[in-house]
Chains A and B, each alone.
Chain A
Amino acid sequence: MADTNVKTDGRALAKLFAGIGATLILSCCVGCVRVKPFEREAHSRKTMQERDASDAKLEGHVHEYREGSVGGSGVGGGGCGCN
């Protein structure tokens, strides 16, 4: 039987992800109404705060060694604007 080769479709993959990412960024930045500082009461509530970093690190730690995927966890930071 012929040997198995690894597919090298990295470029097409990168273009796909770049396209999706650019679309999402543009729709996020352009399409959203600006929220003024005095309108951010809900964002400053306890349940809207980011998960503790060490807790999130442990959660990621459980999965990253038992699955074939990593990454994408950095999305949690920022965006509150309530400080």
Chain B
Amino acid sequence: MRLQLGIILACLTLAGTAASDAQEREDGAGDATARLLVYDDNDATTVVTSIADVDATLPGAISIGAHTVLDAVSSASVDVVSAATGRWQENRVEVGARAVVPVAGSNLTVGTVRSQENDWLSHTASLAGSRELFQKNTVLSAGYGFTRNKIGRAMDPSFERSLLSHSAEVSVGQLLDRKSRGGIAYSFQALSGFQSSPYRYVAASDGTTVPERHPDKRRRHALSAFVLRSLTPRASARIDYRLYRDDWGIASHTGTVRFSVELSKRVSAALDGRLYNQSQADFYRASYPTSFRFMSSDRELASMWNVGGNAQLGLQLGPLKLDARVGAIRYRFRNFPRLPRRVALLAGGGAKVEW
């Protein structure tokens, strides 16, 4: 499946966070985190994702970290029905390591990630840097990552495709006043290689059925901004917006609002809402009259919107932080007749200990 495609940008994000954390810690300090999230929707798909992550600061302000992610997927969605197979289950295992090194007033982060499923293997290498400027009023960050994917098909050893991905991201964070800060980021991803599903077929109205065919090249751009403001000594609000375009014709807008409240010295809570809207890819059709050069039955390339929200509760007991969350997302696919709507429920929690 295609669970790996977002890894590279996530790596760059984590690299920036790791660099920021490393600046604040003393030698020997560190933290360990374990987290679990369950996604369950009415399209017969359940995904259980667990993360374990550890960071430690060494002498010389060098920080090292490692993480592992396990996705356990069980699905009998309309995609599977259309491919004439039954419910399938599979696991994805991701492992990664990173190091943050201070160099001439900046922090450089190098990282690597390996991800494996039964039909997909990927390796990622990333390099990122960040620097504080103007008495720490401004933070500039930039990163680059490269991923090589090897794609197979279950029970078909003769099927082998490749997909290469180059990603870059630049961002600036800025204190806006005594109570507010904000930032903007631009990210770019260039993909080259096999980007269809090895399992999906597309049926045309004239009776022909062909394997899904997506273009081999894709360039994706995202520009995002946020403002975070302290409302009272115990409450803050954050607004995020992202504009996305790619050369497959998809344009999207994403808006997120998050309120955080400190209920007591130990207990905190957060509420967030997210609205997402996207246009369809140029070559996507709900039905094709005949065989076209590019054909897709991927609902993620259809015109769609979704709205969701989460409630989160946190508890701090000395060096131990615990949190739990519940959420829901309602999807509406405007031109994917087999699944016009989908509702997903989310539940999860985490534990983090610092030393």
A residues neighboring B (CB under 8 Å): 1, 3-10, 13-14, 17-18, 20-21, 24-25, 28-29, 32-37, 39-43, 45-48, 50, 52-83
Whether B39 and A74, one on each chain, are in contact in the complex, defined by CB atoms closer than 8 angstroms, is: no
Whether A68 and B348, one on each chain, are in contact in the complex, defined by CB atoms closer than 8 angstroms, is: no
In the complex with contacts A10-B219, A54-B51, A54-B350, A79-B173 CB distance below 8 A: yes
Whether B350 and A55, one on each chain, are in contact in the complex, defined by CB atoms closer than 8 angstroms, is: yes
| Complex: A46 Cα to B294 Cα, angstroms | 50
| Complex: A79 Cα to B37 Cα, angstroms | 29
Number of interface residues of B (CB under 8 A): 113
Whether B247 and A68, one on each chain, are in contact in the complex, defined by CB atoms closer than 8 angstroms, is: no
B-side interface mostly: strand
Whether B248 and A54, one on each chain, are in contact in the complex, defined by CB atoms closer than 8 angstroms, is: no
**B139 to chain A: closest CB distance in Å?**
3
Residues on the B chain within 8 Å of A1, using CB: 289-290, 292
Q: Which 8 A-B pairs have the closest CB atoms?
A: A79-B173, A78-B139, A81-B136, A72-B224, A71-B222, A72-B222, A75-B185, A64-B6
Whether A66 and B171, one on each chain, are in contact in the complex, defined by CB atoms closer than 8 angstroms, is: no
**18 A-B pairs (CB sep. < 8 Å):** A4-B293, A5-B283, A6-B247, A21-B184, A24-B184, A29-B138, A37-B135, A47-B262, A48-B236, A50-B20, A69-B252, A71-B242, A73-B187, A74-B171, A77-B19, A77-B20, A79-B138, A83-B23
B residues neighboring A (CB under 8 Å): 2-3, 5-6, 9-10, 12-14, 16-21, 23-24, 33, 35, 37, 39, 49, 51, 53, 67, 69, 130, 132, 134-141, 143, 167, 169-179, 181-189, 215, 219-226, 228, 230, 233-236, 240, 242-250, 252, 254, 260-262, 268, 276, 278, 281-283, 285, 289-290, 292-294, 300-301, 304, 306, 310, 321, 323, 329, 331, 346, 348, 350, 352
